[in-house]
Amino acid sequence: PSITTRTYAERAAKHPVPVAKQLLDICDRKKTNLCVSVDVTSKAGLLRIAEAAGPYCCCIKTHIDIVEDFDRDLVQQLQALADKHDFLIWEDRKFADIGSTVRLQYSSGIYKIASWAHITNAHLVPGEGILTGLASVGLPLGRGLLLLAEMSAKGNLATGEYTAKNVEAARRHPEFVMGFVAMRRVDEREETAGGVAPGEGADYVIMTPGVGLDSKGDGMGQQYRTPDEVIRESGCDVIIVGRGIYGGGDGNPNEEIVKQCKRYQEAGWKAYEDRLRQ
């Protein structure tokens, strides 16, 4: 059977990357495949939205370098919220340099991403040295990495052979690469093409941005699909929702955030249950 017919719990039990196991277990426990992307520029805004969204999501995704008043206390408070509400933290850093440089960018500087983010992600543009560099920091800390095998924006260049190379590279780093940012089940297509039966290969978590129920785009290239298109039709595992939940700017009031979280959580979970029945 294909990966898409297995439950999150079944997949958690067998996953080789501890953080992927944790994420899939949270999805099962909280009945949510929602990752909330919080792209706001203030510490107070980020913490407020994470607190409001925490009960409904499996993961909070940050862009820590847009926060104007970043300090260590911000990540400490975010970690406390992750413990309290049972979610993981993903810093959407999109590393894209040679191994020796990303190793420093991941561990050092102002942000020290590896010290607090369970998950981060990278482009394969520089070649597989980027994985060796990031793994040298992340593996000892039990972190996991997503490769950007595809992107959501119109006209993006992560397609075809480049996407396939991401899947091949992931297979050579099974202890650290937990999955992909992708728009579809990129791993299974590859397995079928290579003559391997779908689902017999490694299990990758597919986390998918460009999800919105009320809008088709943002006028800057973003393209939105519904949770049903993403989870059931395309076989992805986690929906990433940003502006559809926090509303842009400094963010919606808490009441609206909670309302939208429940709406996306429900839609994402229904799509998953429908997929299991397919």
Positions at the binding site for substrate: 39, 61, 152, 222, 242-243
**Is 187 among the catalytic positions?**
no
Q: Is 210 in the site for ligand BMP (CB under 6 A)?
A: yes
Question: Among residues 21, 28, 43, 92, which one is catalytic?
Answer: 92
Q: Which of 92, 203, 228, 237 lies at the binding interface for ligand BMP (CB under 6 A)?
A: 92
Per-residue tokens: 272: 């998953």
- Helix 160-171 vs helix 186-193: crossing angle, to nearest 10: 90
Q: Does 243 bind ligand BMP (CB under 6 A)?
A: yes
Give the one residue of 4, 22, 120, 222 binding ligand BMP; rule: CB under 6 A.
222
Beta-carbon contacts of 112 under 8 Å, excluding residues fewer than 6 positions away, are none
Per the annotation, the verdict on 94 as an active-site residue is yes
Q: Cβ-closest residue to ligand BMP? A: 242
Spatial distance between the Cα atoms of 117 and 261, rounded to a whole number of angstroms? 22
Q: Which of 94, 112, 165, 262 is catalytic?
A: 94
Q: Where are the beta strands (DSSP E) in the chain?
A: 34-38, 59-62, 88-95, 119-122, 144-148, 177-181, 205-208, 238-241
Give whichever of 12 and 56 is closer to ligand BMP, judged by the CB atom.
Answer: 56
Minimum gap (Å) between residue 114 Cβ and ligand BMP: 18
Q: How far apart are the first and last CA of the chain?
A: 12
Q: Is 7 helix (H, G, I), strand (E, B) or coil?
A: coil
Given the rule CB under 6 A, which of 46-54, 112-120, 242-250, 252-260 is the region that contacts ligand BMP?
242-250
Total interface residues for ligand BMP by CB under 6 A:
16
Q: Is 99 in the site for ligand BMP (CB under 6 A)?
A: no
DSSP label at 115?
G
Residue 226 in contact with ligand BMP, rule: CB under 6 A: no
Among 137, 181, 239, 271, binds ligand BMP (CB under 6 A): 181
40 binds ligand BMP (CB under 6 A): no
The two structure tokens encoding residue 201: 């290969």
Which range of residues in 16-24, 52-60, 72-80, 234-242 is near ligand BMP by CB under 6 A? 234-242
What per-residue string of b and e applies to 209-245 under the rule 16 or more CB within 10 Å gives b?
Answer: bbbbeeeeeeeeebbbbbbbbbbbebbbbbbbbbbbb
Could you tell me the two tokens for 220? 């800057």
Residue among 99, 198, 242, 251 that touches ligand BMP (CB under 6 A): 242
* Set 86, 97, 165, 218: catalytic member: 97
Active-site annotation, residues: 92, 94, 97
